[in-house]
Every structure is written in C-alpha cells, then in structure tokens.
Amino acid sequence: MGSFTPRAPTWPVYSTRAPGHVFSYYTHPEDWTRSAFVEWGRLIGRVHEATGPVSDRESQRPAARLERVPALKHAAGMPEVAREHETLLEWLHSLPRTPDVFGLIHSEIIQGNMSIEGRRFTLFDFDDCLHHWHAHDLAMPLYYSSLFRPNWDRAALEKFLQALLEGYRDVHAIDGTWERRIWGFGATAAAGDAGLGRPEG
C-alpha cells in the first residue's frame, strides 16, 4: 500500500453544518422578503466591522482578480469587452483607499453562500476574501440578484439595495457618495452586463 506525504504543513479542520437551510431564491423563494434583505445588509455590515482597518501596505495591494480580466478577454478575441474592463479598472484605481471604505471583505455575500434560520444568517465560503472596497460586498448581492430575479427592473433593484443599506447602516457607516458608487461596483462585477451601467460618482 502506498503512502502520502504532504509537501506543505497540514492542519485538521473541524466544522459543523450551518443551521437552517441555504438561502436561495431557487429553493426557498419565500425567504426573499424585505426584512430578510435588511438582515442581509446587517450581516455585510458586521463583516466590515469585524475585519477592521487595513495597514497602509495592505491598502496598496492591487485588485488582482479584476486586473487579470482584460488579458483573458483579449485572449478570447473580445477586445471591446477588454476595453470596458480597463475603463472600470481606471475608475477603481481613482478611488480612495481609506480605512473607512477599504479593507478585508468577503466578496461573495450572495445567495448560496449563507444559510438562514428564522431571521439569522450564517455566512460561509470564505475562499474569495480579499482586500477591496467595502462597496463591493454590497454590489455583489445587487448584481447577482439581477440575474436570479430577471423580472426585477432598475426600480426593483433600487428597492432591494435600499433594504440592504438600511441594515448595513445599523452597524457600519456609509455616506451617500459611496452608496451611489455601489452601482459602479456592480458594473465591475457585471462587466457591463445586466443593465447595471457604467460607474457613477
């Protein structure tokens, strides 16, 4: 019988199943209520409160995942999409990286990555955490909800976003300028798809 010797240190991991059921419109559409959206926003705010400010060195890290996209699109023969990404990257690089708006984020606090029991969410799937703007964590639910709920128009998405922000503001501050920029971060996620448009603010 062969043996396996790991090349790097290994650690045993113990975990328990998240309580409740996976929060997903596909399997439990009844969970998608305004009160749940408010709690969703509070969850995002608690993540940002818990991670705290980043160091000057961490704040200068490039958004590597986004910076790879233009080259991939060029390779796929889609230079016009690459130019759209480059425009969005220029916009991102123009934004301040102060501790109140930039830090360690989850980056995918979306349906399928959390469970719900009653009004309580449990978040999982932390493998895409990165140093980025807090607004990105609010934009990802907005973008993915535009896909999960194709019948939602801009007005419906705006109501959804306002419910998220209502909960978010309960635990973490955000000013009006950054609230408007959430749509721009939606554009970075959508790469110009889903009608979210170009960056604002």
Provide the CATH number for the domain around residue 124: 3.90.1200.10
3-state class of 76 per DSSP?
coil
Q: Residue 72, Cβ neighbours under 10 Å: how many?
A: 12
Q: Which residues constitute the domain of residue 123?
A: 21-190
96 domain residue, yes or no: yes
200 domain residue, yes or no: no
56 domain residue, yes or no: yes
33 domain residue, yes or no: yes
| Residue with the two structure tokens 């604002």 | 200
4 domain residue, yes or no: no
What's the domain count of the chain? 1
Q: What is the largest CA-CA distance in the chain?
A: 64
Q: Exposure string (b/e) for 32-47, b if CB count within 10 Å is 16 or more?
A: beeebbbbbbbbbbbb
62 domain residue, yes or no: yes
145 domain residue, yes or no: yes
Residue-level pLDDT, tens digit, the chain, 201 residues:
555 565 666 667 666 788 899 999 999 999 999 999 999 999 999 999 998 777 666 656 655 455 545 445 554 566 776 677 778 778 888 999 888 999 899 999 999 999 999 989 999 999 888 888 999 999 999 999 888 888 899 999 999 999 999 999 999 999 999 999 999 888 877 654 433 333 444
14 domain residue, yes or no: no
